[in-house]
Chains A and B, each alone.
Chain A
């Protein structure tokens, strides 16, 4: 594309007089994207996560060996080498392949938790904040009860009740991570519920349901996205923690936390067994944190006129 064409497209996006709904929306997204991509670290975070997605999608192609079957006879606990970049574990499995396949489980956990916990938190928080009175009191006391327990302990209790396994771990993490989102959504709702623009919608005759869904939730979503992204690192660690305690993914599933758990027995002599998945967790957590910081700057309505 020529430089002129790019320039004219940019002008179209940044137009002060958008001619259609579509142009207005795209222009707004473009401004947020420009602000986001100007932040180098956030961009790095995004690249890490894109890399994670690619690795997870093409794990079958990328992994040099099987993640679950190893050569017990000839390749137990081999140090990193040209043949096995990250070495092998006690069952002779290639650790690189396990880390690559493990990315799928990490994504699985992270996405499921976000999809379950964020909407629950958003709904509880906005309804409590907008309704006020006894509805608010009941919903927020329930939230407080969940917040009163340390997250991992509560998750442990749920997994103990539901039985170990990665699906139950996801469920347990989701159940324990919505309360902070509810609080954020409620705080945000309280600041906007008495504003004139919400009053104006009330004066249109809109039902409370419509006001919460169409006018208040969109305002809470950006701070929620930021918070969920920043929490992702914690969710990965909690999942890894459950895996480490033997309550999450069950062997031979190549889940990073479980891999660290099984590697801890040789952590002094064969450090790579626990080190490789540990490093993977570190990198992905870092990626989410950087992305979250960047999103906060790009989406926060208070940090500019957007």
Chain B
């Protein structure tokens, strides 16, 4: 098996604050990998650094065997796409769904836009009735489906998911998680998914990395978590917290 994505001793520094302190990980092709941690753990920063939205101070990122430079080229964006956390902030407020989906096709010079947009909307379960709506005419779950369609329309092989369901209601969350799983199976995608919720990560991912203060705490498999085979106190705390409140 080849690594679809590998990150080696990656450092990210914002104004002397080390948001990421030499983190390494390797995600196999077709695998779903989870990043878990609390706010400030650097999990989102890691995702953004891979996408090129946060500057890497040192270390390297390799995608499908190709080492990335400081600037991402167009080919990179056809391999890697991202879904953001807040569905209310990730869609342009003055553009219709149609226009949102057209944009990536126009940038990459795809000719068969009409067909691709139809297919992308069908794939995320929206259908063409939503095609000419503005984002304010959509619910949170529908917005997130549009965001997923937008990420898929360039047919990437790797999808970066930044807490894609944390702003959604529990019932909508289940629908979106199911959709993501189905898409991954059908398109044989590689997922790198960030969440603060251990249950979601164990549901969605085979392997995961627990992060704290910009560092990796430990690498685990979903099976390890289910059988409570964890070695670090921090992970144990997270596990306990995920079970809800226990009266002392």
Among A52-60, A157-165, A198-206, A277-285, the one that faces the other chain is A198-206
Given contacts A204-B77, A204-B104, A205-B108, contact A19 B86 (CB under 8 A): no
Smallest CB-CB separation from A221: which chain B residue? B94
Q: Is the CB of B136 within 8 A of A200?
A: no
| CB of B128 to closest CB in A, whole Å | 8
Point out the residues of chain A lying under 8 angstroms from B91, CB to CB. Answer: 197, 200
Q: B111 an interface residue at 8 Å Cβ cutoff? A: no
Closest to B104 in A: A204
Give the chain A neighbours of B129 by CB distance below 8 A.
17
How many angstroms from the CA of A199 to the CA of B91 in the assembled complex? 10
Contact of B92 among A28, A203, A205, A215 (CB under 8 A): A215
Give the one of A19, A204, A306 with max B CB within 10 A. A204
Check if B74 sits within 8 Å of A205, measured CB to CB: yes
User: A200-B82, A200-B147 given as contacts; is B133 within 8 A of A301 (CB)?
Assistant: no
A residues 202-219 in Cβ contact with B at 8 Å: 202-206, 210, 214-215, 218-219
Residue-wise interface mask of B (66-99) relative to A, using a CB-CB cutoff of 8 A (1 in contact, 0 not): 0000001110111001101110011111101011
Q: How far is the CA of A219 from the CA of B154 in the complex (A)?
A: 26
User: Which residues from A are CB-within-8-Å of B96?
Assistant: 18, 21, 24
Report the minimal beta-carbon distance from A34 to chain B, rounded to whole angstroms.
16
A4 is an interface residue with CB less than 8 A from chain B: no
B134 touches A204 (CB 8 A): no
A269 contacts chain B at the CB level, 8 A cutoff: no
**Neighbouring B residues of A7 by C-beta, 8 Å:** none
Contact yes or no, A218 B94, CB < 8 A: yes
Is B137 part of the binding interface, using a Cβ–Cβ cutoff of 8 Å?
Answer: yes
B146 to chain A, nearest CB (A): 11
User: Which residue on chain B has the smallest CB distance to residue A201?
Assistant: B103
A8 interface residue per 8 A CB criterion: no
Could you tell me if A206 and B132 are in contact, using CB atoms closer than 8 angstroms?
A: no
In angstroms, Cα B74 to Cα A226, docked, is: 38
Cβ of A305 and Cβ of B89 under 8 Å apart? no
| The one of A21, A196, A219 that contacts B86, using a Cβ cutoff of 8 Å | A196
Given contacts A205-B107, A215-B92, contact A199 B133 (CB under 8 A): no
Q: Is the CB of A202 within 8 A of B132?
A: no
Is A195 an interface residue, CB under 8 A from the partner?
Answer: yes
Contact between A204 and B53 (Cβ–Cβ < 8 Å)? no
Indicate if the CB atoms of B84 and A199 lie closer than 8 Å.
Answer: yes
Taken together as a complex, chains A and B put the C-alpha atoms of A289 and B103 apart, in Å, by 37
Partner of B136, one of A197, A218, A305: A305
- Is there contact, CB below 8 Å, between A21 and B84? no
Please, which residues of chain B bring their CB within 8 A of the CB of A196? 84-86, 89-90
* Chain A residues whose C-beta falls within 8 Å of the C-beta of B74 in the assembled complex: 205
Among candidates B86, B133, B147, residue contacting A17 with C-beta atoms closer than 8 Å = B133
Chain B residues near A203: list those with CB within 8 A.
51-53, 77, 81-82
Whether, in the assembled complex, B145 has its beta carbon less than 8 Å from a beta carbon of chain A, the answer is no
- The answer for the CA separation of A100 and B81 in the assembled complex, in Å, is 61
Query: Are the CB atoms of B93 and A301 closer together than 8 Å?
Result: yes
| Contact partners of A305 in chain B: CB under 8 A | 136
Q: Are B133 and A18 in contact (CB under 8 A)?
A: yes
In Å, the complex CA distance between A203 and B104 comes to 9
The reply on A23 being an interface residue by CB < 8 A is yes
What CA separation (Å) do A306 and B136 show in the bound complex? 7
Within 8 A of B (CB), among A1-41: 16-21, 23-24, 28
Query: Counting CB contacts under 8 A, is B150 at the interface?
Result: yes
With A196-B86, A204-B107 given, is the CB distance from A21 to B132 under 8 Å? yes
Q: How far, in whole Å, are A142 and B51 apart by their CA atoms in the complex?
A: 35
Which of these, A20, A197, A199, contacts B132 with CB under 8 Å? A20
Interface string of A209-252 (1 = CB under 8 A from B): 01000110011000000000000000000000000000000000
What are 22 inter-chain pairs, A to B, with CB distance below 8 A? A18-B96, A19-B132, A21-B96, A24-B132, A24-B133, A197-B89, A197-B90, A197-B93, A199-B84, A201-B103, A203-B51, A203-B81, A203-B82, A204-B103, A204-B107, A205-B73, A205-B104, A205-B108, A206-B103, A215-B92, A219-B94, A305-B136
- Footprint of B on A, CB under 8 Å? 16-21, 23-24, 28, 195-197, 199-206, 210, 214-215, 218-219, 301, 305-306
User: What would 9 more interface pairs be, CB under 8 Å, given A28-B134, A196-B89, A205-B72?
Assistant: A16-B133, A16-B137, A196-B84, A201-B92, A203-B82, A204-B108, A204-B154, A301-B93, A306-B136
- Smallest CB-CB A-B distances: 6 pairs: A205-B77, A196-B90, A18-B132, A24-B132, A204-B104, A205-B74
Measuring CB to CB, which residues of chain B are less than 8 angstroms from any residue of chain A? 51-53, 72-74, 76-78, 81-82, 84-86, 89-94, 96, 98-99, 103-104, 107-108, 129-130, 132-134, 136-137, 147, 150, 154
